[in-house]
Chain A
Amino acid sequence: MVPDGIPPLTEQTRAEAREIIARYPKPRSALLPMLHLVQSVQGYVSPAGIALCAEELALTKAEVGAVATFYTMYRRKPAGDYHVGVCTNTLCAVLGGDAIFASLKDHLGIGHNETLPDGTVSLEHLECNAACDYAPVVMVNWEFYDDQTPQSARALVDALRAGAPPPPTRGPSTLTTFKEVSRVLAGFNDGLGKEGVPAGPATLAGLEIAKQRGDVAPAFPGKES
């Protein structure tokens, strides 16, 4: 049984699951991407999704469920179209992530791992997202929104609710939905990698200072480089 409003898994989902399996020397390696695929259709890892993975990989549903519950990116309830994650690991927390998370909880009226009733936005706090040089960091659908303040984060979620999301700081020109992003995680390239900056300002800090100073690495011996 599929709950109201949740699209069913189709023959196409099954075909794509088999495509994923074919990438690997051993079928079971496909399980994590397959669970991302399930989320790309249904917005969470549903019982039907677990059953599909189990059937395709000749595993029991308990075996699949044990894997799905181990990883934090697999949701047990439908995520919002825009899944907002606030980094509250130490460095971001101290620099303002705690204040941002508190402010968003208050502003949206939902807590960690909850979704707005209209299904637009869900909220969670995250561990370090490898962007500490852009702290405090907010992720929406696993895209970077760098250098946030409580005010900018509130404006961001308001824009998400209004269906007019600004582009990520280091990402494609247009923010895609949680389900669309889950397809990429399942290994289906959406081509948007061509868009966006190569690097943000912090990434380039050292290179810029090196250039100002005239610092370069020793040339490769032999040929001109």
Chain B
Amino acid sequence: MVFTPVLSAHWDEPDSFTLAGYTRHRGYEALDTALGMEPDALIQLVKDSGLRGRGGAGFPTGMKWGFIPQGPEGQGAKPHYLVVNADESEPGTCKDVPFMLANPHALVEGVIIASYAIRASQAFIYVRGEVVHVIRRLQEAVQEAYAAGHLGTNIHGSGYDLDLVVHAGAGAYICGEETALLDSLEGYRGQPRLRPPFPATHGLYACPTVVNNVESIASVPAIVLGGADWFAGMGTEKSKGFTLYSLSGHVKRPGQYEAPLGITLRQLLELSGGMREGRTLKFWTPGGSSTPLLTAEHLDVPLDYEGVTAAGSMLGTKALQCFDDTTCVVRAVLRWTEFYAHESCGKCTPCREGTYWMVQILERLEAGQASEDDIDVLLDTCDNIFGRSFCALGDGATSPIVSGVQLFRDEFVQHLTSGGCPFDPVASTIFGGVNA
């Protein structure tokens, strides 16, 4: 079995997003099981399953839940919150949005189970604002779940109460960073907070808070139904379970592919038809634009946390953006850098100033108006940003540049020697000038 559709198993049914469609496939059954368990036993179950956060960093989900202080003293006595990170904005990442469109109830059920486990009576789904139909689907699902007694007071007669609010963001990539998200949810500019203290003890309104990615939380109902061993039976030694890989770019069949962790890009391309006709893979991102670029040499890297790290990159969000040999890497790197410069929240100098200047240098490089020394200035600047920025956005901004120069230095130089970009942008479009 190469593919293991669990999360995506019923997306092809016309009512997959409704309560009826979800209930037909044992929807909200896991909730009954969970409410019959001790909260700590649920946390243990998720720990045992080996589920790691699907938002990018791969932090063990059960362990994160276990950090929430419990009991009548100190922080434990304050209200607890669950906040779902549905901000999905990392370039290339496109799994949570189609997921919530097709099956918002899996997320809602996961929210209820997770909130019960960490003893929260208020949860939020912070969803990026630029996807209004996804927001409608979530609003509908929440409304249906209240009407069916899955949310509100005395859920399934258990005595447990939970309220869930769908909260729309307003356009800011940085609000995907969990502490910036919390500031945004509190009604401030979304800027990262100094850690420690961590959200587990001082999160939303300075109360104990779990922030988890959509896919992490939506995987929980299946884990409750199937058990920890069932889940851990898929994947690799340290990267357990199934997950959504998002294939995009110059490929024959872009889309969502659900498979156990550890599948390779070669397998995914072979089974989905490969790169577009007559073209070869030039470079790709394993997990969005903040993860260093890889090339065709890395087609057999196992796409799990350990495998991609060993190859010098990061699994990130499993956003496999594939570019073929028509693509200018300098142009791609410039565009990603423009993105980081635009999205830098401005709080710290290395990132705010560094991304601005790197755009200036890359623009000159692309136009062939720089010198080879500028390539080194660029790398120096990355050195001064990486590890010196307040949050991981700054680090991420250096990934395309450093890896791009490492892998394709000749192409950067070629822009200088040939006085501009040697590539034809029309050849890279999918309509190739036709229809233009």
Contact = CB atoms under 8 A, between A and B. Distances in A.
A130 B103 CA distance: 16
Given A133-B254, A193-B17, 16 more contacts: A26-B205, A73-B129, A73-B171, A94-B323, A95-B250, A128-B91, A129-B131, A130-B93, A130-B131, A133-B94, A133-B247, A135-B249, A142-B131, A143-B132, A143-B133, A144-B131
B248 A218 contact: no
A13 B24 CA distance: 40
Interface of B: 1-6, 8-9, 11-18, 25-26, 79, 88-94, 96-98, 101-103, 122, 128-133, 135-140, 143, 165-173, 184-190, 205, 225-227, 229-230, 233-234, 242, 245-250, 253-259, 271-272, 289, 319, 321, 323, 327, 331-332, 335-336, 339, 342-343, 425-426, 428-431, 435-436
Interface string A183-195: 0111101111110
Contact of A199 (B12, B96, B172, B184): B12
Interface stretch (A3-11, A28-36, A158-166): A28-36
B205 A134 contact: no
Contacts of A194: 18, 140
B3 A215 contact: yes
A196 B242 CA distance: 28
A64 B169 CA distance: 15
Contacts of A110: none
A66 B225 CA distance: 46
Interface of A: 23-26, 28-33, 35-36, 57, 66-67, 70-74, 85, 88-91, 93-96, 98-99, 103, 126-136, 139, 141-144, 149-152, 168, 170-172, 181, 184-187, 189-194, 196-210, 213, 215-218, 220-221, 225
Contact of B11 (A70, A126, A184, A204): A204
A199 to B, nearest CB: 4
B234 to A, nearest CB: 7
6 contacts: A32-B167, A70-B172, A71-B169, A130-B93, A133-B255, A210-B3
A149 B89 contact: no
A156 to B, nearest CB: 13
Contacts of A57: 187
B223 to A, nearest CB: 10
A91 B190 CA distance: 26
A28 B91 contact: no
A190 B250 CA distance: 37
A71 B181 CA distance: 12
Q: Which 5 residue pairs of A and B lie closest in terms of their CB atoms, listed nearest first? A: A205-B255, A193-B136, A206-B257, A72-B171, A71-B170
B133 A170 contact: yes
Given A172-B133, A204-B12, A95 B227 contact: no
B129 A24 contact: no
Given A71-B169, A205-B256, A220-B226, A28 B94 contact: no
B436 A151 contact: yes
A209 B225 CA distance: 25
Which of B15, B92, B343, B429 has most A Cβ within 10 Å? B429
A184 B135 CA distance: 8
B365 to A, nearest CB: 16
B122 to A, nearest CB: 6
Nearest to B97: A130
